[in-house]
A and B are shown apart, each in its own frame.
Chain A
């Protein structure tokens, strides 16, 4: 995914937008799956991708998959374009804030299934 942005397309902000937004998506998905795992015990069980690590393996695995898939797709779509970086950045900050909150135990435990 690296390369090219600083040469011919150096002022194009599409690649930076893709990198920043995909990081926000990775953070948000990790937080969202962390909370959803508390809501749904079957989902929590399905997230045990590694017996030694437990559901953390699936929660973070999905976050990484979402991050890399979003980055690859957005980079392909935006690499030669000038996105509205300020808007993308603001959306990213909201996603990161939500992701942080959803990994905070008092927040995800509030959704814990009885």
Chain B
């Protein structure tokens, strides 16, 4: 039961920060969706808003931790210019080359989009709070951006899981 430093950071990046972001999405979406006067009482809105504020802020922080740890800690190991790096291994095999040229190339860029979008959602929830119950347009925008952040993070996470299976960072 041992993990190398590289394996530890890869796990923390994907199964730690990234998984927390993705798993918290359903709760955040339900919280935003149900923030409507016809669905909850004033007391219920107050209780929900507390969780929603914490939840969206933690999700934005997790998004940035996932992005930064992936880009500046794990990615340099992945792309190292040595024959044993995951990038070299994938490019050397014609049957696996596409996992880098399509999968990793998309993952390394699209994951960043989740950070911008999740931060905007957290700001709206923090700044407007109870006003979101009346402001249907703001709540709807927050829900859409939240879903788009999840899609971006989901694409990055899915390719990350496959890539780590095919050519793990070791």
Query: A residues within 8 Å of B by Cβ?
Result: 1-6, 10-11, 13, 15-16, 19-20, 22-23, 26-27, 30-31, 34, 50, 52-54, 56-57, 59-60, 63, 67, 85-86, 89, 92-93, 96, 99-100, 103-106
* In contact, A5 and B110 (Cβ under 8 angstroms): no
CB distance from A103 to the nearest CB of B (A): 4
Contact (A63, B116) CB under 8 Å given A11-B131, A34-B109, A57-B71:
yes
- Confirm or deny: B168 has a beta carbon within 8 angstroms of a beta carbon on chain A: no
Q: What is the total number of residues of chain B having a CB less than 8 Å from a CB of chain A?
A: 34
Contact (A93, B128) CB under 8 Å given A30-B113, A56-B108:
no
Chain A interface, >50% SS class: helix
Query: B residues within 8 Å of A by Cβ?
Result: 71-72, 75-76, 79, 101-102, 105-106, 108-110, 112-113, 116-117, 119-120, 123-124, 126-131, 135, 137-138, 141, 144-145, 148, 152
Contacts of B141 in A (CB 8 A): 16, 20, 85, 89, 92
**Cβ-neighbour of B127 out of A11, A16, A57, A103 (below 8 A):** A16
* In contact, A10 and B128 (Cβ under 8 angstroms): yes
Query: How far apart are the CA atoms of A37 and B150 in the complex, in Å?
Result: 26
Query: How far apart are the CA atoms of A15 and B152 in the complex, in Å?
Result: 24
* In contact, B106 and A104 (Cβ under 8 angstroms): yes
